[in-house]
A and B are shown apart, each in its own frame.
Chain A
């Protein structure tokens, strides 16, 4: 029996952050991981896809070199090399987590962990089994896995998930991406940049359906211009082998492609963790937790994707900190789920926080909405990257920042001034009085704020 104060099952962004925070607070910590430290995020999700998307961007820059007066007769973009680079980036980040564990004296137990009682975790690994006893608490952070459609099996050959897509060094000639959320549009971008014929299907009436409607419209325009076929309101009834690889039956007819990427969402990994034996309550497939991330069983915490939406690494990290601090006897401020930024790294990038304009209007609230296009931003013009806009949705009476929606260059970096503003409860006025350096893309944020107040300068 190995004894620790805290045992963390899963070392994705939720798990490893909670482990480090608990160790910082003087607790002895064990972690259990059945893959490499870092979880899906570092190994198979966020990080490697960002490496692939960077490749896609470089390819794009080469393609438009002529705009900058640079003549390139011929260039070759090797997709296998892009995947290899992506793997090496992921490896480096995973090693970084291992280093952080050593630095914080956190013991890593490779293997699959499951609860046998509320404070005992059995680890089954390749090198045998171990039993870990948690003196204070167990943190479950087993994450999520790609979902599929009913009757469709993901074989990672013809029908692939993001797990297959980040690993496959061979690119298909054609692919149908089912689901136009963040994962779907990011892979559509990568594949299209490497010359793959891409069809993007979405069951809802618009792509990136959780974003503001104007963002969806802008992205539809941008992706269509790049040769991606977009079909919205498309219901897939079956995916069968045939033709070039797979035949996809939709309510709008049959489609054929070499591969199908299933990007219809992710489901919590709650099986084999020992939840059932302890009667840990679930809610809509996710583990039910308190504001301090404790499950229905005292001393057992759950964080990250398995604990519910939004399924985002940074939300998992924030929850990890809350759980660790609660276990250490502090009284952490609970995660503010209304103030989690959401980022999609396709080109143009999308970033948003708070309510969409439509949501903000529900209940008849009077709004002040300001929008500023990057075409009127000096830095964006100089970069030659002017697609998109910044849109600020505020309460007309108080100037409260209800939501901000950015699509365009470096949108994912720009969102944070609004995240900070919302955390500090700044209003349009404080944002307006914040001097933004010139020339920067962030000036578009200032101008959108001014537009909401009715006096943008540069438009």
Chain B
């Protein structure tokens, strides 16, 4: 059985280092490939780190509470009788990844070749895992207006392929990557020493989620201490806030947004929901679950909206992976409900609640944070009439959901009271036109206004 090096995974595009929150396995524990080894804190979320090999966790090199640069050795999996001395020694000399590395240069960064900041800035105290508590739940609906989520390769956690900052790739791989819009930082190289070669890029460019939008170099703001009685105070950006700050302009500036709003009569959906929730032994269903289900079904009919701009082509998805924005105290994240078109309302209700719950506890897995083909952001619980959301590239559209309000309505019988809800879709004009967005909304509206269709 080969010796498996456990390295700090690159869990997002901007991630340079990660903090081990805790090890779920101890030295000497037997592990299978796929077992969760540890929880790692990144700029986005607390992510569970899987084992990529089987054997015995022989050595833990970075203790809980300590940080390690991406790609550095943090543990070793091997058989009991395997000699791991050389691997561990190599880590000691080549990668100063151990506990003391907090303020040191990333492993492998040599003078003259470091193309990124040499020091990892100290983290604000509020990010100390001991001090953090799960954010209080903000209601049964999943609110959110903005979302942050890097397009991380969906299938697997990418291993760093370079020596920290520099990506090792063949010239041909670089060219093909540039032409197909693949971010080399997200690819694991299969060539000598982890070098990215042509076949790696080709494999990645056929996997939908790997067509990531390249991120701007990370801006690392430095905390200014607040003086007593000062006129203002500069709060340090939390890792999540800084990711949002970096990420959102990358959508709003290059993606030409347009917006289409429609009003939906929610009376029948409201009644149906109350009826369903009155049934014993049934999961509680939210308005948002209705909307998720309606969008999933409609997207199958409107593949042009379930699409992504790819530079020289438009990728139309035949499956619906729904991003559901979840507000957290310090920001928000958008976990992904996969293959939602194939799920019943009850299933959606259970799974969406679980995702939101774990998002608030920062217990999501990396693969649950990427790969959405469409997203929904709901601010209904904040009594918001309507709003527009920012598209999360490479997705082509996002739906912003307002609250269900009781309003005077005019019908044939005269003036009455009805429940109305505003839906606003933000669309990438490179992928679709106004009429496409409008037709999509029309069909979502139809489903919600004839909600029995959502049950069949």
Q: Is A425 a contact of B179 with CB atoms below 8 Å?
A: no
Check A398/B179 contact, CB under 8 A, given A424-B170, A425-B171, A426-B172: yes
- What A residues does B170 contact at CB under 8 A? 424-426
Complex CA–CA separation, A424 to B179 (angstroms): 19
Complex CA–CA separation, A242 to B256 (angstroms): 86
Complex CA–CA separation, A149 to B170 (angstroms): 47
The contact string, 1 if C-beta is below 8 Å from chain A, for chain B 178-194, is 01000000000000100
The contact string, 1 if C-beta is below 8 Å from chain A, for chain B 278-310, is 000000000000000000000000000000000
Q: Is B172 a contact of A427 with CB atoms below 8 Å?
A: yes
- What B residues does A427 contact at CB under 8 A? 171-172, 175
- What B residues does A430 contact at CB under 8 A? 171
Complex CA–CA separation, A331 to B171 (angstroms): 26
Nearest B residue to A401 via CB reads B172
Nearest B residue to A329 via CB reads B2
Complex CA–CA separation, A427 to B171 (angstroms): 6
With a 10 A CB-CB cut-off, give which of B2, B175, B197 has the most chain A CB atoms: B175
Does any Cβ of A come within 8 Å of B198's Cβ? yes
Give the contact-size bracket for chain A.
10 to 19
Q: How far is the CB of A387 from chain B (nearest CB, A)?
A: 32
Complex CA–CA separation, A333 to B195 (angstroms): 14
- What B residues does A425 contact at CB under 8 A? 170-173, 197-198
Does any Cβ of A come within 8 Å of B176's Cβ? yes
Nearest B residue to A398 via CB reads B175
Q: Is A397 a contact of B197 with CB atoms below 8 Å?
A: no
Does any Cβ of B come within 8 Å of A399's Cβ? yes
Q: Is B179 a contact of A429 with CB atoms below 8 Å?
A: no
Which residue of A331, A397, A426 is within 8 Å of B179 (Cβ)? Answer: A397
Does any Cβ of B come within 8 Å of A400's Cβ? yes
Complex CA–CA separation, A333 to B199 (angstroms): 14
- What A residues does B192 contact at CB under 8 A? 333
Nearest B residue to A399 via CB reads B175
Complex CA–CA separation, A331 to B198 (angstroms): 21
Chain A residues 400-459 with CB under 8 Å of chain B are: 400, 424-427, 429-430
Q: How far is the CB of A256 from chain B (nearest CB, A)?
A: 54
With a 10 A CB-CB cut-off, give which of A398, A400, A426 has the most chain B CB atoms: A398
- What B residues does A333 contact at CB under 8 A? 192
Complex CA–CA separation, A400 to B197 (angstroms): 12
Complex CA–CA separation, A429 to B171 (angstroms): 9
Q: How far is the CB of B354 from chain A (nearest CB, A)?
A: 40
Q: How far is the CB of B432 from chain A (nearest CB, A)?
A: 28
- What B residues does A429 contact at CB under 8 A? 171
Nearest B residue to A424 via CB reads B170
Which residue of B2, B171, B176 is within 8 Å of A426 (Cβ)? Answer: B171
Complex CA–CA separation, A429 to B178 (angstroms): 15
Q: How far is the CB of A367 from chain B (nearest CB, A)?
A: 15
- What A residues does B198 contact at CB under 8 A? 400, 425
Q: How far is the CB of A399 from chain B (nearest CB, A)?
A: 7
Q: How far is the CB of B311 from chain A (nearest CB, A)?
A: 14
Complex CA–CA separation, A383 to B175 (angstroms): 39
Chain B residues 1-26 with CB under 8 Å of chain A are: 2
Chain B residues 150-209 with CB under 8 Å of chain A are: 170-173, 175-176, 179, 192, 197-198
- What A residues does B175 contact at CB under 8 A? 398-400, 427
- What A residues does B173 contact at CB under 8 A? 425
Complex CA–CA separation, A397 to B198 (angstroms): 14
- What A residues does B197 contact at CB under 8 A? 425
Q: How far is the CB of B240 from chain A (nearest CB, A)?
A: 38
Complex CA–CA separation, A425 to B198 (angstroms): 8
Complex CA–CA separation, A382 to B5 (angstroms): 57
Q: How far is the CB of A397 from chain B (nearest CB, A)?
A: 7
The contact string, 1 if C-beta is below 8 Å from chain B, for chain A 325-345, is 000000101000000000000
Complex CA–CA separation, A397 to B175 (angstroms): 9
Q: Is B179 a contact of A400 with CB atoms below 8 Å?
A: no
Complex CA–CA separation, A333 to B176 (angstroms): 23
Complex CA–CA separation, A426 to B173 (angstroms): 9
- What B residues does A426 contact at CB under 8 A? 170-172
Chain B contact residues, CB within 8 Å of chain A: 2, 170-173, 175-176, 179, 192, 197-198
Some 17 contacts from A to B, beta carbons below 8 A apart, are: A333-B192, A398-B172, A398-B175, A398-B176, A398-B179, A400-B172, A400-B175, A400-B198, A424-B170, A424-B171, A425-B173, A425-B197, A426-B171, A427-B171, A427-B172, A427-B175, A429-B171
Q: A398-B179, A427-B172, A427-B175 given. 20 additional CB < 8 A pairs?
A: A331-B2, A397-B179, A398-B172, A398-B175, A398-B176, A399-B172, A399-B175, A400-B172, A400-B175, A424-B171, A425-B170, A425-B171, A425-B172, A425-B173, A425-B197, A426-B170, A426-B171, A426-B172, A429-B171, A430-B171
